[in-house]
């Protein structure tokens, strides 16, 4: 195999999110978020796990940046907790909250690490949920106001901004099935929350053009859908699943319209949206962030309301979150984005896997061969997409640290760095050592056999 090369300036990094790592959610004048409330409601998270301590990054951020530097990261994607900035969601700014992120950004820059800042990774201020949350049309203005506070404080030091992380997960988990905060279960609310999230995205991009001078984009999780058979039913189910997960957010953001299948899926719960809303949603974007974990092989079934579901592959390899390992899906997906939406710059803003990791061995070693294998194949798939002409500018591994996997609590470990939740000790796993070499060689070492 010939040595693989990545484009000049291709950024190698890792990603996290505020609620999953910070802890101290109410420190220094912050307000509660929907995730603090949700996790403190009995029965909502596995073992009742909460983000009260998490990885204690709110207090250990300096050491964590040092760790990133030791691993050789060139970029770090993190999110800001909105209710640290505006404890009531709008209005009054809590300067201590702004200062926390400002110090973090300075520390990253001093260590030569480029910050990628996500404004919304799921932790809506609870005060805004009390005003209807994403079901309230005013949420677009609330989000633009919060975004503007951050642009004024950090633009220039932060040059890559993300509005929303994964609107599909926010609404499918938070408004349709209820496994994620705010825990609603309504087919009628789901399209409204999705639409308002996209209006908020548009309003925040618009506000950025007035204040910011660099780049802003949207992060979506997408997953290629392959039909389980060539029957008309499975083909139609695959089309619905694809429209629901992959086109529902990119179509309005980049093409200014929704795919027609959404009407079929939601029926009388799908409103006719005003043209002016779609105009607001469709803003010029500087990049699209892609989060990729798995594919799905899709079959028609009775699931509500999609009438489509994933079939388990008998010969497939599955991660601890039950997701099939399927690297080629990432290449297929990136090529699909290019074909449907044109030549837009893309970042892989998340990719990684939870596997069972053995305890830290004597001498501080964690052998995680499955994760290394997963990463090697997926970074290879990114390279294949670049070869196929996609404009991919960077790769952010999910995740820097083992962290709070939302309602699954601390039971799933996605980190390249092991976290001992009793002592907060960080131990780079074999995959982190391996990834460091990939970065240092700008991808050339991907072709070496894995150090099992």
Task: List contacts with ligand PNW (CB under 6 A).
Answer: 17, 20, 165-166, 169, 221, 223, 291, 293, 350, 398, 405, 414
User: How near is the Cβ of 106 to ligand PNW at its closest, in Å?
Assistant: 25
Positive or negative, the CA dihedral 433, 438, 444, 447 is positive
80 vs 207, beta carbon nearer ligand PNW: 80
User: How near is the Cβ of 397 to ligand PNW at its closest, in Å?
Assistant: 11
Q: Under a CB-based contact definition with an 8 Å cutoff, are residues 126 and 25 in contact?
A: no
Residues 6+ apart with CB under 8 A from 131: 89, 138
What is the phi/psi pair of residue 395, to 5°? -140, 120
Q: Under a CB-based contact definition with an 8 Å cutoff, are residues 418 and 357 in contact?
A: yes
Q: Under a CB-based contact definition with an 8 Å cutoff, are residues 280 and 210 in contact?
A: no
For residue 444, the 8-state DSSP code is G
HEC profile of 318-345: ECCCCCECCCHHHHHHHHHHHHHHCCCC
Task: Give me the sheet containing 308-310, strands edge to edge.
Answer: 225-227, 296-300, 308-310
- Helix (H) / strand (E) element for 235: namely helix 232-242
Q: Under a CB-based contact definition with an 8 Å cutoff, are residues 99 and 140 in contact?
A: no
Tell me if the bond preceding 119 is cis, omega within 30° of 0. no
Q: Distance of CA 129 to CAs 140, 193, 321, Å?
A: 13, 12, 29
Catalytic residue (choose from 233, 350, 362, 405)? 350
Question: Assign residue 302 a region: left if phi > 0, alpha if psi is -120 to 50, beta otherwise?
Answer: alpha
Annotated catalytic, 324? no
Q: Rounded CA gap, 199 and 144, in Å?
A: 10
- Range 172-175, long-range pairs (CB < 8 A, 24+ positions): 174/122, 175/134
Coil, strand or helix at 232: helix
Q: Rounded CA gap, 32 and 82, in Å?
A: 10
Residues 6+ apart with CB under 8 A from 125: 31, 32, 33, 34, 82, 83, 86, 87, 88, 89
Q: Under a CB-based contact definition with an 8 Å cutoff, are residues 357 and 308 in contact?
A: no
Q: Under a CB-based contact definition with an 8 Å cutoff, are residues 85 and 147 in contact?
A: no
Q: Give the residue numbers marked as catalytic.
A: 350
């Amino acid at each position: 195999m010939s040595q693989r090369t990545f484009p000049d300036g291709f950024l190698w990094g890792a990603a996290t999110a505020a609620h999953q790592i910070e802890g101290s959610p109410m420190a220094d004048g912050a307000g509660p978020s929907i995730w603090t409330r949700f996790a403190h409601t009995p029965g909502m998270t596995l073992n009742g796990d909460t983000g009260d301590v998490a990885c204690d990054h709110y207090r250990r951020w300096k050491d964590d940046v040092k760790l990133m530097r030791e691993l050789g990261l060139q970029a770090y994607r993190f999110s800001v907790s909105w209710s640290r900035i505006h404890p009531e969601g709008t209005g009054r700014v809590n300067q201590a909250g702004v200062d926390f992120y400002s110090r973090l950004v300075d520390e990253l820059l001093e260590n030569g690490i480029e910050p990628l800042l996500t404004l919304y990774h799921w932790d809506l201020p609870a005060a805004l949920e009390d005003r209807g949350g994403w079901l309230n049309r005013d949420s677009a203005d609330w989000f633009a106001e919060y975004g503007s506070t951050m642009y004024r404080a950090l633009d220039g030091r932060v040059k890559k901004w993300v509005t929303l992380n994964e609107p599909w997960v926010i609404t499918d988990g938070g408004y349709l099935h209820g496994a994620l905060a705010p825990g609603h279960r309504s087919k009628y609310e789901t399209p409204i929350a999705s639409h308002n999230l996209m209006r908020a995205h548009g309003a925040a991009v618009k506000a950025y053009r007035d204040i910011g001078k660099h780049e802003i984009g949207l992060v979506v999780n997408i997953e290629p859908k392959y039909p389980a058979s060539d029957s008309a039913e499975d083909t139609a189910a695959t089309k619905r699943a694809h429209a629901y997960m992959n086109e529902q957010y990119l179509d309005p953001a980049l093409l200014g319209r929704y795919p027609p299948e959404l009407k079929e899926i939601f029926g009388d719960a799908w409103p006719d949206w005003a043209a002016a809303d779609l105009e607001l949603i469709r803003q010029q974007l500087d990049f699209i962030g892609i989060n990729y974990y798995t594919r799905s092989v899709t079959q028609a079934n009775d699931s509500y309301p999609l009438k489509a579901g994933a079939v388990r592959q008998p010969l497939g390899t599955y991660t601890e979150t039950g997701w099939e390992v399927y690297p080629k899906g990432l290449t297929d997906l990136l090529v699909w984005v290019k074909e449907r939406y044109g030549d837009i710059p893309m970042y892989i803003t998340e990719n990684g896997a939870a596997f069972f990791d053995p305890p830290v061995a004597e001498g501080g070693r964690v052998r995680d061969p499955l994760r290394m294998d997963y990463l090697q194949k997926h970074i290879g798939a990114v390279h294949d997409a670049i070869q196929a002409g996609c404009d991919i500018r960077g790769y952010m591994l999910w995740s820097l640290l083992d962290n709070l996997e939302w309602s699954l609590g601390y039971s799933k470990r996605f980190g390249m760095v092991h976290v001992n939740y009793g002592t907060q000790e960080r131990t780079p796993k074999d995959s982190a050592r391996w990834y460091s070499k990939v970065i240092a060689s700008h991808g050339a070492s991907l072709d070496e056999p894995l150090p099992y």
